[in-house]
Amino acid sequence: MAGMTEQERAELTRGILAMLDDWEVEAKDQLTLLGLSEAPVRELRQLRENRALPDEPEIMQRVEHLINIADALRTTYPFSRRMGKLWMHKPNRKFRQRTPIATMVEDGIVGFISVRSYLDCTFSWDHSGSKA
């Protein structure tokens, strides 16, 4: 994601927010997931209309995880976007009976990695250092 123009980041921002809306993530949790927990909720409106997410490494890392989680959900549930949304809101034993959304909101980057690893075995393999 390095080297993106402001316009490309604005389009990415709108896409990420649309995905979070599709997953029915509450506004305050959207800000937390994006690493903007200190921002007022009205910031979301500005991001939707004309502002790009800040080009900061942690925010871009969160965006990358969200994109890859969405891709893994599409692979896991290729015939139903609805199932991916349901999975994101279903308590899971792997996440101490929390939902994947709650895991990411509460645990930050570690939560993102946990959810992504659960859905994407290749990421888990690479992340664990098992790759040669």
Per residue in 79-106, pLDDT (tens digit) is 998 999 999 999 999 999 999 999 999 9
Q: Identify how many contiguous H helices and E strands the chain contains and give both numbers.
A: 8, 0
Per residue in 38-79, pLDDT (tens digit) is 999 999 999 999 899 999 999 999 999 999 999 999 999 999
The pTM assigned to this predicted structure is: 0.90
Extract the tokens encoding 125: 């393999």
